[in-house]
Amino acid sequence: MNLRNIYLSVAVVGLSLFFLSSQIFSGIGSSATKEEVLLRSIVTHIDRLHFEPREFNEDFSSLVFNEFLSGLDGNKRFFTQSEIDQLRSFENRIHLEIRNTTFEFFDLADELMSKSAKRAHSIFEEVIQMDFDLDAEGYFELDGDKIDFVANEDELKERWQRYVHFQIVDDVVRQINRLEEDEDYDIDELVEEARENVEDRISTWLNRIKGMEREDRFNIYLNTISNLQDPHTGYFKPKDKQDFDMRMSNQLEGIGARLTTEGEHVKIVSIVPGGPAWKQGELEPNDLILKVAQEDEEPVDISGWSLDDVVSIIRGPKGSKVTLTVRKIDNKVVDIEIIRDVVVFEEGFARSVILQKEGQDTRIGYLNLPSFYFNIGNASEGRNSKDDVRAELQKLNEENIDGLIFDLRNNGGGSLNDVVDMSGFFIEEGPVVQVKARASEPQVLSNRENEVVYSGPLVIMVNSFSASASEILAAALQDYGRAIIVGGNSTFGKGTVQRFYNLDRMVRGHNDLKPLGELKVTTQKFYRIDGGSTQLKGVQPDIVIPDNFHFVTVGENDYDFAMEWSEIAAVDFSQNVWEVDDKLIHWLRKRSEERISEDELFTKVLANADRLKRMRNHSLRPLSIEAYREFLREREEEADQFRDMFDPIESIHISNIEADLEFIHSDSSRIARNESFFENIQKDAYIFETIQIMNDLLNGSEVK
């Protein structure tokens, strides 16, 4: 895209936003409430700017109805069917309320939820005092989607009895499992202690639900409307936007994990490289946080808490301990202890080392990029991934490497501009990605770098959590035949582009209601230069190395309302610098498959992937103590087969780049972090297999 077109696009966008602002303002009276201003602003933005906005019709109303109620009562322990029936009259006309900026449905839902929360607390106070037959047969269903709302208050009380029953059983069994094998215990004492723990935990949770303000539920309502457009469109309160900026700037506090809400729970989106959770090693993306405990205190059930409240109790002073009770993707529940620390930003930045396989003379550069980071608002002071990667490549060139492994695993994306420019480090001038808005022709973004920084053999590592900008870079270099892509079945599959809109700037007047927050809107899709989208499909590696998600769907396909895959016309581009043809890829793939089929570790990885697939939807739990103990024992025995699978691989030799040694040895903490980085590489069977693929690539020219 040339400079004139860029200026023209900016002018057109600016003019469009001016008219959009006028439209929003003209539709809102001077006496409007904050709810009216927010709803009108968000709907107008979505209508005019979203790539593919849903039509506000009866079908959309039904989606809002079901998703909003799920957001309020996903496990169906508050509303009865008669209350749902009261709300049901709005199911097919919520779109009219949205258009007219009225709130009859929301008002009634808010009123009923307030009443049902108080009723639930009253029921719980009665139920917790009951006697439970802890030898009873039967099961408790963890998944709220698999049960219906109860018919009346009597059935609601039964549901709470079953829920409390399971919570007590769970607590008792976990107390027993913490005892020494031959240690005696009094079951009645354990039950009484469990009852007290459950009472404290659930009372705290219910008090929070009762204490939710109308504004909290209204934010759920706004995000229901927004998220139904696609998973990446959403409303951000002012504080939420500040947290987002911190993440994009690689400046995070706490345990070093990115969180989001999912139903009643908070889910781990990703682990910040170098942070306390990353070092501890057990917390993983897709884990659901059920409880949080401070130091040696009893855990607090965080079901139904706001994300802000959860973050506030997970964060804490350096050196203090927090214990997270999480549910894994296979539905196993574990306690994870993490010592809080300052998140070391250096380990979230690009870094590189030299790798050699024992018996091989080849020197392979290894470059790890955790994210496409940049510093929001302080560009002159902060670091960005583009400049850092260029610097690492230049240092690797000075080391006379024979090939480069570029690790984009778990890289969730970031700056689109940086990834477009970064592609120019590997290919000569040419198109990188196509970006298309709703009502415009595709724009071709080309790299603006005048000089290739690295021109040697290149292998890119990806996995299911390589998303967005990572996929753009991998796809472009794959299309050019510039790199071999290695990883799991597919990357994440996020092929959309978002933009933030500051609602304060879009609404004239109403200063007494501000700050309003911001809206993130999916405004564009990006397409590969061959015309295909990465949306849903992701980037399929040239060589697949099986991982724990080999048999389960993760990524964009996991979202209920993800946008569909599509394609547009390809653009002209020439394969240059280092052409990788189909014959060579086939040979490399065959050799890798042979190694993996004979490797005991990858046989176990595939067996574990099959276990995860089987367990993922297994959400029933026994209600008797002995049956539940046996259930957990069997799960634990099966899981034990796959624990600590990755031992150090002695034949990987790792060395720092000469230019980095002074910096590393100038600080004891850097030395420790460098040692930890080496240890992780040493245990990484995926890196080891990629080294072997690279050696095959270097020795495979005769195949062509």
Residue of 653 and 212 predicted with greater confidence = 653
Span of 15-29, 124-138, 256-270, 498-512 with lowest mean pLDDT:
15-29
Q: How far apart are CA 158 and CA 141, in angstroms?
A: 13
Q: How far apart are CA 243 and CA 226, in angstroms?
A: 19
With cut-offs at 50, 70 and 90, classify the pLDDT of residue 429: confident
Cα distances from 626 to residues 134, 136, 141, 186, 623, in angstroms, run 9, 10, 18, 15, 9
288-294 and 543-544: which strand pairing? unpaired
Nearest to 90, CA basis, from 53, 116, 63: 63
- pLDDT value of position 27: 55
Q: How far apart are CA 529 and CA 523, in angstroms?
A: 19
Q: CA dihedral defined by 85, 145, 492, 499, rounded to 10 degrees?
A: 20
Nearest to 640, CA basis, from 604, 613, 606, 598: 604
With cut-offs at 50, 70 and 90, classify the pLDDT of residue 343: low
Q: How far apart are CA 476 and CA 455, in angstroms?
A: 15
Indicate whether 327 belongs to any domain: yes
| Cβ neighbourhood burial of 7 (10 Å; 0-12, 13-18, 19+) | exposed
Indicate whether 220 belongs to any domain: yes
With cut-offs at 50, 70 and 90, classify the pLDDT of residue 576: low
Supply the Cα-derived Rg of the chain in whole angstroms. Answer: 27
Tell me: do 612 and 586 sit in the same domain.
Answer: yes
- pLDDT value of position 390: 96
* Structure tokens that stand for 32 in this block: 């409007």
CA quadruple 261, 266, 270, 271: dihedral sign: positive
Would you say 691 and 405 are in contact if contact means Cβ atoms under 8 Å apart? yes
114 has pLDDT over 90: yes
| CB half-sphere exposure, 444, CA atoms < 13 A | 16
Tell me: do 291 and 385 sit in the same domain.
Answer: no
Domain count, the chain: 3
Give the tens place of pLDDT for each residue, 122-178: 999 999 999 999 999 999 999 999 999 999 999 999 999 999 999 999 999 989 988
* Structure tokens that stand for 611 in this block: 């276990």
Tell me: do 207 and 140 sit in the same domain.
Answer: yes
Residue where a domain terminates, one of 227, 259, 289: 227
Q: How far apart are CA 456 and CA 366, in angstroms?
A: 13
What is the CATH number for 332? 2.30.42.10
Tell me: do 286 and 420 sit in the same domain.
Answer: no
Give the tens place of pLDDT for each residue, 162-173: 999 999 999 999
Nearest to 392, CA basis, from 418, 441, 428, 353: 353
Would you say 325 and 333 are in contact if contact means Cβ atoms under 8 Å apart? yes
Name 262's bridge partners. Answer: 265
Q: CA dihedral defined by 406, 481, 463, 307, rounded to 10 degrees?
A: 80
Q: How far apart are CA 672 and CA 83, in angstroms?
A: 58
Cα distances from 604 to residues 32, 440, 456, in angstroms, run 61, 49, 34
- pLDDT value of position 578: 59
Q: How far apart are CA 702 and CA 704, in angstroms?
A: 5
Tell me: do 461 and 565 sit in the same domain.
Answer: yes
* HEC assignment per residue over 519-578: EEEEEEEEECCCCEECCCCCCCCCEECCCCCCCCCCCHHHCCCCCCCCECCCCCCCCCCC
Tell me: do 585 and 520 sit in the same domain.
Answer: yes
Q: How far apart are CA 543 and CA 292, in angstroms?
A: 40
Task: Give me the mean pLDDT over the 445-458 stretch.
Answer: 89
Cα distances from 551 to residues 227, 328, 598, 612, 613, in angstroms, run 27, 16, 20, 8, 6
Would you say 111 and 78 are in contact if contact means Cβ atoms under 8 Å apart? no
Domain of 285 in residue numbering reads as 251-339
Indicate whether 545 belongs to any domain: yes
Tell me: do 307 and 334 sit in the same domain.
Answer: yes
Indicate whether 179 belongs to any domain: yes
Residues whose CB falls within 8 Å of the CB of residue 216, separated by 6 or more in sequence, listed in order = 306
Q: How far apart are CA 368 and CA 431, in angstroms?
A: 24
- pLDDT value of position 444: 96
Tell me: do 192 and 278 sit in the same domain.
Answer: no
What is the CATH number for 443? 3.90.226.10
Name 694's bridge partners. Answer: none
Span of 127-141, 233-247, 439-453 with lowest mean pLDDT:
233-247
Cα distances from 531 to residues 362, 417, 429, 436, 554, in angstroms, run 37, 20, 19, 11, 24
Name 289's bridge partners. Answer: 266, 326
Residue where a domain terminates, one of 339, 368, 397: 339
Would you say 350 and 358 are in contact if contact means Cβ atoms under 8 Å apart? no
Q: How far apart are CA 630 and CA 38, in angstroms?
A: 52
With cut-offs at 50, 70 and 90, classify the pLDDT of residue 278: confident
Residue where a domain terminates, one of 304, 321, 339: 339
Indicate whether 218 belongs to any domain: yes
Task: Give me the mean pLDDT over the 670-691 stretch.
Answer: 92
* Structure tokens that stand for 444 in this block: 């071709």
Residue of 394 and 430 predicted with greater confidence = 394
Give the tens place of pLDDT for each residue, 78-102: 999 999 999 999 999 999 999 999 9
Tell me: do 630 and 651 sit in the same domain.
Answer: yes
Tell me: do 302 and 217 sit in the same domain.
Answer: no
Would you say 685 and 601 are in contact if contact means Cβ atoms under 8 Å apart? yes
- pLDDT value of position 10: 39
Indicate whether 586 belongs to any domain: yes
Q: How far apart are CA 658 and CA 353, in angstroms?
A: 9
Give the tens place of pLDDT for each residue, 462-471: 999 999 999 9
Task: With 0.85 as the threshold, say if the pTM is over it.
Answer: no
Indicate whether 214 belongs to any domain: yes
With cut-offs at 50, 70 and 90, classify the pLDDT of residue 445: very high
Tell me: do 150 and 73 sit in the same domain.
Answer: yes
For residue 24, the one-letter residue type is I
Q: How far apart are CA 489 and CA 487, in angstroms?
A: 7
Tell me: do 469 and 523 sit in the same domain.
Answer: yes
Residue of 23 and 36 predicted with greater confidence = 36
Indicate whether 6 belongs to any domain: no
* Structure tokens that stand for 655 in this block: 């060395």
- Cross-sheet strand order for the sheet of 458-462: 543-544, 484-487, 458-462, 403-407, 364-368, 351-357, 652-656
620-622 and 139-141: which strand pairing? antiparallel
